[in-house]
Structure 1
């Protein structure tokens, strides 16, 4: 599981409980160095964990039992989580070890443990490559950046 992978990585890293660790999903190859720096700076200045995320811009629909639209979810306070995510090793390891809930990211484990990670605005180009069309979009992002545009 993701939690096991992160725990194993931390265990073999030699990091101490008070060190900071960034976890990153390899399926997000288009992360911007400036966004990573912004996340690290925030965490170090505030001594609290945080994640890159972007405000949701799409209208979000919740499906009902019949497979139809059950309701529309207001998007004004919704954010799409990204990686990297930044936490101190001790609390993160404890959160990943103590949760019985299925967590899809480190922030979820931290939330279950009572933490409220910060949302640091990232870039919409830091999307997850999960479908063939996503790979084409990632190539376009890299080509655009190679041409000198900062997207």
Structure 2
């Protein structure tokens, strides 16, 4: 029997316009390391992960300066204009590395640096099936529908979950789902949506409150506090 292999794709070709600043947010420094280094390192800390494919912009000049770029388990390919294009490019590149269509693939945001190896391993255990799954948290806050800066309605939050990454699906199935979405001109916001469109029901695996995405400047303070606390814990 072939040994279990789990791969990962990290789409990192985006510019992060909402974040602002003079460089892509995945290369901002948090707690002494680039955001993307934290994200990729968490994936590599999982014993089942045999390789990570990072999809980069064609004009990327920052990746090669990072220490993690020289890790033999990390590979790169050219990403696309949209997230789904970069993920699809990463899947195609993994296939060229002899990844099998049945191998599970974790797709993780480059700008979600505080995910833990424990959460990733829980996802690997809990979503190992044809429909795959994703880390997510039940929505706790009251949801408001806004118009022109004013609250006009309260949305029912029962049954709603906030999606996180990683999300994990069989390589071949996810590749076909993304191909179909692109052919139909559908801009999926995450991999689970692509799978849902084909009738799959991805499993929701409990995530962690600290697994937030660096989207706006205000997120930096919280993420730095989380990452600094982990660094201190490792050195004490």
Scaled by the length of structure 1, what TM-score is found? 0.90
CA contact under 8 A between 2:130 and 2:169: conserved in structure 1?
no
Q: Equivalents in 1 of 2:133, 2:114: separation in Å?
A: 19
User: How far apart are residue 125 of structure 1 and its match?
Assistant: 0.3
- Trace 1:1-151 onto structure 2 (pairs within 5 A): 1-14=82-95, 15-44=99-128, 46-64=129-147, 67-99=149-181, 100-148=185-233
CA contact under 8 A between 2:84 and 2:187: conserved in structure 1?
no
Residue deviations 1:50-80, cap 9 Å, x none? 000111111111124x553232112221111
CA contact under 8 A between 2:114 and 2:227: conserved in structure 1?
yes
User: Which structure carries more relative contact order (alpha carbon 8 Å, separation 6+)?
Assistant: 1
Q: Equivalents in 1 of 2:151, 2:198: separation in Å?
A: 33
CA distance change for structure 1 residues 21 and 56 in 2, over 3 Å: closer, same or farther?
Answer: same
Q: Equivalents in 1 of 2:149, 2:177: separation in Å?
A: 35
CA distance change for structure 1 residues 95 and 47 in 2, over 3 Å: closer, same or farther?
Answer: closer
Structure 1: segments with no counterpart, 5+ residues: none
Q: Secondary structure at the match of 1:148?
A: helix
> How many residues are paired up?
147
Scaled by the length of structure 2, what TM-score is found? 0.59
Q: Which runs of 4+ in 1 moved over 4 A?
A: none
RMSD (Å), alpha carbons: 1.6
Residue deviations 1:119-145, cap 9 Å, x none? 101101000111111111111001222
